[in-house]
Amino acid sequence: MSAQKSCCRLTMEEPRIRSVLGDGKTRLQLPDEVGHCFHDFVELEPGLGLGRLHYRPSVPLIEETHGPHEGRVMVITLGMKGRSCYEGQDATSLEFQKGYTTISSFQGIPGERHYQADDTVSQLRVVAHESLIRKYVGPERAAEILGSQQFSRLAFRASTPAAMAHANALISHLLPCQSQLSRLDLHIHTLSLLNEQFSLLAPQHGAASSPFSPEDIERIEQARQMMDEHLDKPLTLDYMATIVGINKNKLKDGMIYLYNATPAELLLELRMTKALTLLETGQRVSQVAWQVGYKYANNFTVAFTRYHGKSPKAMFGKRVVEP
């Protein structure tokens, strides 16, 4: 490793620690002096893989990469925590951020991944080879989905509640000491994620066209972002529609169309996802309740238990309970 100022650069030639975790999973870990950084991966079938990246470097980190996959692949990355970026030698770039889905297709080009010091980055990655995509959607639609460039940034959009539900289930399988999904469930969640992105990138011929214009969709996504950034505020549908400049009925119908959830369901999804993240950091229930819009901790606990199937105490122990 070579260091310049306070930044650490990890070249492709420098060794990573590879270990077998069982149940078909392997782990690729960076040297301890870089920080707590690893990537777990499992192959579900030839051409389809699932990975969980968890990086918390102790110094600013630049990791060189040349695309570890053979042939052309599409990678769907769902940001679960933090943010990072990728910069290719051909001036291409990708951004990865919590709450957003990044999709790219490429074939072995050199580049760099950038991570900030002491910032936890957690990502779920679905890797689909061109042969597998052709198998499921046919050669013409596969070509439409993947594009013709050596590197293509296909999408960067807010993750839908449906995508996050699949991602959370898959992440739970990849975490150590957690109840594991059956092989069939793994396939169902992963292929559901793929199918959602296929439908957005290249709708099937003959399918009904979207009832919303690109401007409508942009405004609907702005409203979702507003909800995500102000979970502690009692935002109303009327208020959000006025701020983003769209009819409130169209905003409601658009959220159902884009995210398969009503505004109330979407707000609950965002609040419970945020609450889980805050509780993981060790914050107490009353602190978390206030930050996600609940005046009373008991009401929050009831909502959290109903949504996640376990109470905060059952999930995180005494460290979240008020003294």
Top pLDDT among 174 and 304 is at 304
At 49 the pLDDT is 92
List of E strands, 46-150: 48-57, 61-65, 73-81, 83-88, 93-97, 100-106, 111-115, 121-129
At 72 the pLDDT is 85
| Model confidence at 57: pLDDT above 90 | yes
Q: Who's near 160: CB < 8 A, 6+ residues apart?
A: 101, 196, 258, 259, 260
CA distances, 84 to each of 63, 89, 106, 112, 123 (Å): 11, 17, 18, 11, 10
Element (H, E) at 158: strand 151-158
At 271 the pLDDT is 93
The ranges assigned to domains in the chain are 2-201, 214-320
User: Among 37-41, 164-168, 198-202, 226-230, which stretch is predicted with the lowest mean pLDDT?
Assistant: 198-202
CATH H superfamily, domain 214-320: Homeodomain-like (1.10.10.60)
Q: What is the mean pLDDT of the chain?
A: 85
Three-class SS state of 286: helix
Q: Who's near 284: CB < 8 A, 6+ residues apart?
A: 320, 321, 322
Interval 11-18 mean pLDDT: 85
At 2 the pLDDT is 44
pTM for the full model?
A: 0.64
Top pLDDT among 102 and 195 is at 102
Q: Terminal CA-to-CA distance of the chain, rounded, Å?
A: 46
CATH of span 2-201? 2.60.120.10
12-21, 154-163, 232-241: which has the highest mean pLDDT? Answer: 232-241
CA distances, 159 to each of 78, 197, 258, 263 (Å): 7, 10, 10, 15
The pLDDT tens digits for 116-138 are 999 999 999 999 999 999 988 88
Q: Say what percent of the chain tops pLDDT 90.
A: 42
- In which band, very low, low, confident or very high, does the pLDDT at 91 lie, cut at 50, 70 and 90? confident
DSSP state of 34: G
